[in-house]
């Protein structure tokens, strides 16, 4: 029997349980809504900046200097899969085990929520984090993403979650402890558990573990400035020592007036539209090849950041204006054939059915819906079956595509 449900505990924690009696292993993913985008907080009515890279630095400290010592080594010695990661909007820690789940879940929750690190630990960990930053600085597409973000957004930091050399070098123990106290709280977390579990027992276990933790009242609150839909800059470029130049057309779409279920459908419709217009069988790609603009595929992607849907269409080429002209034309036409729409819809149904064979894929999709679009129900195969060609065209034609920027990677002279 398989069952997925969202619980909201009295302490504010969101608990997602996917019970599957056919599985042997149990997976837990503890997500804290603190990532690269969190750049400020309010204290005593005043706004204070958070240095870039704090969330990522905290990820290292919580793993390497937990109440069990290096928690990665601790879990590894017990044959438990474990890892942590920091993104734009959250920091995630997960375990996967076939035994002793109750004890290991306790250790995971304590590791994340009890900051045991010392000033000496901060100085020790700083060296490893600085090495990561230096490696990141050598990655042109990581740096390119910073350029793109700085063009799209005014108030959302353009720095990567990993931080800058300066900010990491100057990061203080006091600031790290404050940010942990501010963000690592049950009301700012989501715990997703999947496997052969009994939901009522898990709910009680999680409630009891959190009740044993000591959370202090704070006069500090997280603060993310409001962002309007207009782009910060219409263009930007990264100069790089490269033989392959690159250009991208980026759109910023306001989602604030959409209901969560409409956003669920819109994700499918935009994905179908981009696939039809820019994949290797598309007319746009054929034109790129015919005009010898590039020998590479067209890259296209979309993601959600707070209240905005971002679409990027890019290509390795030095004929910047030619490629942008082709991409802009397709975005103005907003066309997708009904036959291809139905093919993509059927493909989405097949992917959904295949997803059902993997516990983590099912719950990951549900968690993503909760965190990115606020849709607090598991999507179903009926949701995909109910997608319509007519509605797709109606929703696409209501989108304001006027807020855009062009970003480039150009050869350094």
Instruction: List, for residues 337-385, the tens digit of each pLDDT value.
Output: 999 999 999 999 999 988 876 667 778 889 999 999 999 988 899 999 9
Helix (H, G, I), strand (E, B) or coil at 252: strand
Fold of 2-222: Cytochrome Bc1 Complex; Chain A, domain 1 (3.30.830)
Q: What is the largest CA-CA distance in the chain?
A: 66
Please name the helix (run of DSSP H) or strand (run of DSSP E) that holds residue 368, with its range, or none. Answer: helix 359-368
**Average pLDDT rounded to a whole number, residues 167-191:** 94
Q: What 8-state DSSP symbol labels residue 372?
A: I
What span, in angstroms and rounded, lies between the C-alpha atoms of 86 and 210?
22
Contact 38, 50 (CB under 8 A): yes
Stretch 299-318: mean pLDDT = 96
Picking from 123, 116, 121, the residue whose alpha carbon sits closest to that of residue 169 is 123
Give me the sheet containing 91-97, strands edge to edge: 2-8, 14-20, 189-195, 26-32, 91-97, 81-86
pTM of the model: 0.92
Structure tokens at 69: 């010592």
Can you give the residue ranges of every domain in the chain?
2-222, 235-411
Query: How does residue 41 score in pLDDT terms, banded at 50, 70 and 90?
Result: confident
Instruction: Enter the tokens of residue 73.
Output: 């080594």
Q: Residues 360, 280: contact at Cβ < 8 Å?
A: no
More confident residue, 275 or 24: 275
Using 50, 70 and 90 to split pLDDT, how confident is the model at 214?
confident
CATH code: domain 235-411 is: 3.30.830.10
Do 235-411 and 2-222 have the same topology in CATH? yes
């Amino acid at each position: 029997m398989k069952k997925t449900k969202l619980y909201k505990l009295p302490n504010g924690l969101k608990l997602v349980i996917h019970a599957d009696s056919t599985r042997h292993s149990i997976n837990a993913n503890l997500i804290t809504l603190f990532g690269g985008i969190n750049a400020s907080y309010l204290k005593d009515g005043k706004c204070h900046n958070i240095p870039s890279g704090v969330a990522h630095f905290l990820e290292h400290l919580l793993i390497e200097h937990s109440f069990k010592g290096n928690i990665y080594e601790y879990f590894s010695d017990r044959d438990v899969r474990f890892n942590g990661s920091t993104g734009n909007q959250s920091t995630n820690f997960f375990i996967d085990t076939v035994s002793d789940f109750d004890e290991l879940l306790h250790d995971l929750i304590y590791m994340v929520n009890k900051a045991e690190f010392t000033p000496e630990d901060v100085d020790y960990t700083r060296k490893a984090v600085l090495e990561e930053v230096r490696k990141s600085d050598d990655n042109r597409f990581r740096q390119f993403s910073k350029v793109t973000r700085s063009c799209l957004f005014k108030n959302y930091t353009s720095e990567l979650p990993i931080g800058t050399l300066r900010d990491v070098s100057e990061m203080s123990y006091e600031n790290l402890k404050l940010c942990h106290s501010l963000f690592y709280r049950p009301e700012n977390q989501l715990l997703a558990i999947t496997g052969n579990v009994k939901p009522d027992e898990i709910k009680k276990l999680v409630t009891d573990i959190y009740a044993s933790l000591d959370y202090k009242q704070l006069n500090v609150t997280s603060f993310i400035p409001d962002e309007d839909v207009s782009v910060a800059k219409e263009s930007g470029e990264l100069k790089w020592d490269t033989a392959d130049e690159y250009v991208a057309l980026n759109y910023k779409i306001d989602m604030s007036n959409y209901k969560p279920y409409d956003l669920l459908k819109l994700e499918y419709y935009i994905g179908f539209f981009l696939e039809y217009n820019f994949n290797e069988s598309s007319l746009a790609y054929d034109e790129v090849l015919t005009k010898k603009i590039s020998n590479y595929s067209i890259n296209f992607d979309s993601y959600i950041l707070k209240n905005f849907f971002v679409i990027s269409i890019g290509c390795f080429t030095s004929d910047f204006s030619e490629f942008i002209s082709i991409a802009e034309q397709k975005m103005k036409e907003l066309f997708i054939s009904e036959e291809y729409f139905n093919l993509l819809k059927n493909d989405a149904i097949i992917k959904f059915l295949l997803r059902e064979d993997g516990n983590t894929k099912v719950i990951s999709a549900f968690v993503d819906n909760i965190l990115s679009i606020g849709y607090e129900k598991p999507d179903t195969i009926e949701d995909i079956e109910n997608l319509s060609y007519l509605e797709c065209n109606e929703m696409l034609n209501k989108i304001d595509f006027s807020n855009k920027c062009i970003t480039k990677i150009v050869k350094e002279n």
